[in-house]
Each structure stands twice: as C-alpha cells, then as structure tokens.
Amino acid sequence: MLNGKQRRHLRSLGHHLDPVVHVGKGGLTEGVISAADIALEEHELIKIRLGENAGVDRHEVAAALAEACSAELGGVLGRTALLYRKRKKDSAIQLPS
C-alpha cells in the first residue's frame, strides 16, 4: 500500500506522461488488462485514460484494473488514472519512505 507522500511523488512523476491504455465503451476487458499489464512491465508508471462512453464509475474501473494487474493506484484525476507497479529487476522509480 502506498502512503500519501508516495502517491504525491508518483503523481508528480506521472504529470507529463501520456496515457498509454484507453478504457472505452467496452469497459474493463481482457485486452485492456493485458495492455496495462504489458505497459506496467515496461514503464512501471502509466496513465490510463477512461473514456466517457465507458458507462461505469471511473474510480471503480481504476481500482479494478489496478487489482487485476497487481498494481497500486496512484490516483484518479478527472478521467485519468495513474497506476504503478515496481519492476522486479532494474526499478527506475525510488519511492520516498
């Protein structure tokens, strides 16, 4: 679990990132989960864009996607969510304690 200081740090790192996974009207599908999982393995910190046509609560979708990918939810701002999962090798992000 991330504490407040760690979430703030991740939000500051993620501010300039572009969304790499988009959740559309199909909602949370296996394809979306797979794409997020691959992106997390490659980048550690990713932005998810939640489309207006998704038809579900953005906080619920972000939390469900984080759980499905074994990631931490850095935050939800508007229709954008930030997910973080530390790499097993060569982690580039050092979280404050």
Which residues span the domain enclosing 44?
A: 4-84
What is the structure's pLDDT at 41? 93
Summarised one tens digit per residue, pLDDT across range 81-97 is 999 999 888 888 888 88
- For residue 93, tell me if it sits in a domain: no
Summarised one tens digit per residue, pLDDT across range 8-23 is 999 999 999 999 999 9
What does the alpha-carbon distance between residue 10 and residue 95 come to, in Å, rounded to a whole number? Answer: 8
What is the structure's pLDDT at 84? 95
Summarised one tens digit per residue, pLDDT across range 27-67 is 889 999 999 999 999 999 999 999 888 777 889 999 999 99
- For residue 96, tell me if it sits in a domain: no
Which residue is listed with tokens 């393995």?
Answer: 41
3, two tokens:
């504490």
Domain with 17 in it: what CATH number? 3.30.110.60
Neighbours of 29 (CB within 10 A): 11
- Residue 23 neighbours by CB under 8 Å, 6+ apart: 32, 48, 49, 50, 51, 54, 61, 65
pTM to 2 decimals? 0.90
- For residue 27, tell me if it sits in a domain: yes
- How many domains does the chain contain in total? 1
Hey, which bits of 1-97 come out as E strands? 19-23, 45-50, 72-77, 80-84
Tell me, what amino acid is at 85?
R
